[in-house]
Chain A
């Protein structure tokens, strides 16, 4: 799966489940602040990743993710390893 496919899949989920505005999903925008994530929102992200990309994430994984681009790159590194 190339990076654009990852971006499209993730953004579609974020728009639908988090009611995010597509215009806010900018690569260098802070993901946590833009989506106003609380602890339970991470459950949705964990399920998103498992169902769409086939791997499980940990709290440590998200410590390295700040922007949307970090998130896309993280997923890409896992599935294209």
Chain B
């Protein structure tokens, strides 16, 4: 229902009004959603070392930017992307993967708006595959697909029957681009440990193990909101060759650390990230 309201406002009353209305929603979550707010507070207080009040304000800012990013995703998918200004940092690395037909693995995280990368990559002509827990977003996806004509990339859903492993492998062998998040996992999945923001955290083993098995370029990609209608896209210099999952994870965590300190309000893992 919430998504319906925002899509209606966006199409009929404009982005500015939609962002303004968002404050009412954010206020509700800020005041009543302690189950997620406490982990956002913990991220600011324990992870980034903010003071108490700065961390509380950070909660509101995080919810607001998160809401804006969701609105922006729908706007871009609806074809309103021309309203947004996109600064490219390292986009040439992605273009090279497509033009040189090497394919590549793009590892991102639940920060900012990684989907803007897909709009960039569409322009390069490459086939983009995004690995995600598709069933978790079926209702929202269905609604967005109905109102915007669907996502403009292939989705590889992660399932218990491991079919996604074959689809990822096939895509990489076909020299396509595969995008995957490296910061979340499900209970029971194999994990790797690494220190992040001063505390040990667990990361999914799968993305880094798969990336380690293929001799294709690997890059870490992010898209961050830098203004009302401004985004900055980042892609790191590709890592070539095969390397151990643990080493790849270390590089990933180092990059993520840099990014959260640069854009602290755009960390969107609203749970106990450092749970043992």
Contacts and interface: CB of A to CB of B under 8 A. Distances in A.
Interface of A: 38-40, 42-44, 46-47, 50, 56-59
A48 B165 CA distance: 14
B163 interface: yes
Contact of A56 (B161, B163, B170): B170
Contacts of B206: 39-40
28 contacts: A38-B190, A39-B162, A39-B165, A39-B206, A40-B205, A40-B206, A40-B209, A40-B213, A42-B162, A42-B165, A42-B166, A43-B165, A43-B169, A43-B210, A46-B165, A46-B166, A46-B169, A47-B169, A47-B213, A47-B214, A50-B173, A56-B169, A58-B166, A58-B170, A59-B161, A59-B162, A59-B165, A59-B166
Nearest to A42: B165
B20 to A, nearest CB: 46
Interface in B197-242: 205-206, 209-210, 213-214
Contacts of B205: 40
B42 to A, nearest CB: 32
Interface centre among B165, B174, B210 (most CB of A within 10 A): B165
Nearest to B209: A40
A39 B163 CA distance: 9
The size class of the interface chain B forms with chain A is 10 to 19
Interface of B: 161-163, 165-166, 168-170, 173-174, 190, 205-206, 209-210, 213-214
Contacts of A44: 213
Nearest to B174: A56
A47 B173 contact: yes
A46 B209 contact: no
A43 B163 CA distance: 11
A14 to B, nearest CB: 15
Contacts of A58: 163, 166, 170
Given A39-B206, A43-B209, A43-B213, 7 more contacts: A39-B162, A40-B165, A43-B168, A43-B210, A44-B213, A56-B174, A57-B166
Contacts of B213: 40, 43-44, 47
B214 A46 contact: no
Given A42-B162, A42-B165, A56 B210 contact: no
A40 B169 contact: no
Contacts of A43: 165, 168-169, 209-210, 213
Interface centre among A38, A39, A50, A56 (most CB of B within 10 A): A39
Contacts of A59: 161-163, 165-166
Contacts of B162: 39, 42, 59
A43 B205 CA distance: 14
A58 B156 CA distance: 13
A47 B165 CA distance: 12
Nearest to B214: A47
A58 B165 CA distance: 9
Nearest to B245: A40
A32 B210 CA distance: 19
Contacts of A57: 166
Contacts of A50: 173
